[in-house]
Amino acid sequence: MSGGDRTTDRIQQQLAAYASALTYDALAPAAAHAATVRVIDTLAALAGGFDGEPCRIARRMAARSPLADGATIYGTSIRATPEMAAFANGTAARYVELNDVYHEPGSAGGHPSDVIMPLLGVAEHARASGRELIAAVVLAYEIYLRLSDAIGKTAFDVANFACLGVAAGSARLLGLGPEPLAHSLSMAIVPNSILRQVRTGHLSMWKAVTAGHAGRAGVFAALLAREGMNAPYLPFEGGSGWCDHVAGKRFSLDALGGGGTPFRILDTLIKPRPSCATTISSILAAEKVAPAVRGRIADIERVTVETYGPAKAGMGTGEHHWNPDSRETADHSIPYVVAAALMDGRITPRQFDEAHRRDPGLRALLARIEVVANDEFTRAYERHPVEHRTRVHVVTRAGERFVGESGGDLGDLSQPKSDAAIGEKFLGTAEAFLGAARAREALDRLWRLEALDAIAPIPAGFVKME
């Protein structure tokens, strides 16, 4: 794979060899099932976010690149080039903030399900089986999450990990061997380094589009490698490579799933609400208080939200969290989600629409909300198993006091979700998108993913009803 001039580096070789060798038969049954669950969960998120403005823009762009044997733009019957389908589908699945999340102490975290829609498209294009898709999903998750653990937070966005995972998974679905697979990895990371500015301060449409962009870039890299394009040398460890200038350090991937080592896909968390993960404990706590104050929001004198330090720093600090000017900023704001939960009783995608964001009562309540860090809650967040703990205190003008708390046994993002809960979540968005009968038919088909000889029935059954 490398010549005497050492054109590939250690990490590139390790990932290419690992990706080339990983097959469905090498997966633990729990990992294969976890991949199926996350495909279902991601399609639920796509159904919920399909009509978002950046999603419509992405679909318009993708539809300008039609290809009969390409990949379906989900929700439509249009087929586009695989990379542009990845752009549209990845954006739509990310928009509503309902897809899975990862947090381990010291990791960069992230949303590894960003890999799924691009891989579904490549699997359709390559006429791959359900088992081949499952193996590619587990592979892409493994690369994403091991990099997240090894590197931690930097000025660069976690979507870079998705780009690499998609490139590797796409190359496997396209049947590429170790050498072109190594080229795919290089062509994914050298031209595509996404800055974390995409999710800092007031947020734009690009927060969701980042996922589509990363998926498009990963798929495009694999397609280029299939055509015979060779890639920049030493992409990770060269003098101007990814380690020193993106990761910010030299690192090793000391363990990868398989052969007795658990696959990291088992450690990702399924969201119960459509909002940033670090706001969800605040939502769950506020929803417990909501029945006591529904209909009399104007009577609330003050609200104090005690949460863990990183949640306070990331989602409860800065004027934009008290003055969200977009859906993207609102679903990353603890004050906003608490106010909306107290007003409406539960957070769904509807609570982030323009009518809610401009509601005078909600805006007035925002000004009466304070977010503080609780050291005990921070310690619970920074150990394993992780607990996402929050306590919401509401005081009315008449002196009434109400408290709601979440985390650990009181309801936690980290709690495992049953297959029944996954099905309910899917139907919760897919029934409005497909109609009740077609949504249940789609869910039944997805639970049988490993038995499918080809992926085509999945997008064919996921066209939005008129």
Give the residue, 201 or 306, on which the prediction is more confident: 306
202 — pLDDT class (breaks 50, 70, 90): confident
pLDDT computed for residue 8 by the predictor? 86
Residue-wise over 287-326: b if at least 16 C-beta within 10 A, else e?
A: bbbbeebeeebeebeebbbbbbbbbbebbbeeebbbbbeb
Distance, CA of 139 to CA of 6 (rounded, Å): 26
Per-residue pLDDT tens digits for 108-143: 999 999 999 999 999 999 999 999 999 999 999 999
Average of per-residue pLDDT across 183-206: 92
**Burial of residue 138, with CB atoms counted within 10 A of its CB: 0-12 exposed, 13-18 middle, 19 or more buried:** buried
Distance, CA of 465 to CA of 431 (rounded, Å): 10
pLDDT computed for residue 11 by the predictor? 95
pLDDT computed for residue 233 by the predictor? 95
Per-residue pLDDT tens digits for 311-340: 999 999 999 999 998 999 999 999 999 999
* DSSP track, 227-238: TT----SSTTTS
Per-residue pLDDT tens digits for 399-458: 999 999 999 999 999 999 999 999 999 999 999 999 999 999 999 999 999 999 999 999
**Burial of residue 105, with CB atoms counted within 10 A of its CB: 0-12 exposed, 13-18 middle, 19 or more buried:** exposed
203 — pLDDT class (breaks 50, 70, 90): confident
pLDDT computed for residue 51 by the predictor? 95
Distance, CA of 211 to CA of 191 (rounded, Å): 16
Q: Domain 10-267: what homologous superfamily?
A: 2-methylcitrate dehydratase PrpD (1.10.4100.10)
Where do runs of H (alpha helix) occur along 192-326? 206-226, 242, 277-293, 309-315
The dihedral built from the CA positions of residue 161, 164, 168 and 173, taken in this order, carries a sign that is: positive
Average of per-residue pLDDT across 239-267: 94
User: Residue 156 corresponds to which amino acid?
Assistant: F
pLDDT computed for residue 4 by the predictor? 47
pLDDT computed for residue 2 by the predictor? 44
Per-residue pLDDT tens digits for 139-184: 999 999 999 999 999 999 999 999 999 999 999 999 999 999 999 9
Q: Is 195 helix (H, G, I), strand (E, B) or coil?
A: strand
Percent of the chain's residues with pLDDT above 90: 94
Rounded to the nearest 10°, the torsion over CA 247, 151, 85, 50 is -120
Chain centroid to Cα 149, Å, comes to 16
101 — pLDDT class (breaks 50, 70, 90): very high
Asked whether 38 and 116 are in contact (CB, 8 A), the reply is yes
Average of per-residue pLDDT across 246-275: 94
Distance, CA of 48 to CA of 264 (rounded, Å): 26
- Domain 277-410: top CATH class: alpha beta
392 — pLDDT class (breaks 50, 70, 90): very high
| Mean pLDDT score across all residues of the chain | 95
Asked whether 419 and 87 are in contact (CB, 8 A), the reply is no
At 306, list the tokens: 């005690």
Rounded to the nearest 10°, the torsion over CA 124, 146, 33, 414 is -120
pLDDT computed for residue 403 by the predictor? 98
pLDDT computed for residue 47 by the predictor? 97
pLDDT computed for residue 217 by the predictor? 98
Per-residue pLDDT tens digits for 276-306: 999 999 999 999 999 999 999 999 999 999 9
**Burial of residue 466, with CB atoms counted within 10 A of its CB: 0-12 exposed, 13-18 middle, 19 or more buried:** exposed
* For the chain, domain boundaries: 10-267, 277-410
Q: Please check the confidence at residue 105 and state whether its pLDDT lies above 90.
A: no
Residue tagged 């796509």 (tokens): 46
Q: Please check the confidence at residue 268 and state whether its pLDDT lies above 90.
A: yes
80 — pLDDT class (breaks 50, 70, 90): very high
Residue tagged 């999710």 (tokens): 199
Whole-number Cα distances in Å, 349 to 183, 198, 291, 320, 330:
40, 21, 20, 20, 11
At 96, list the tokens: 């509503």
Q: Please check the confidence at residue 3 and state whether its pLDDT lies above 70.
A: no
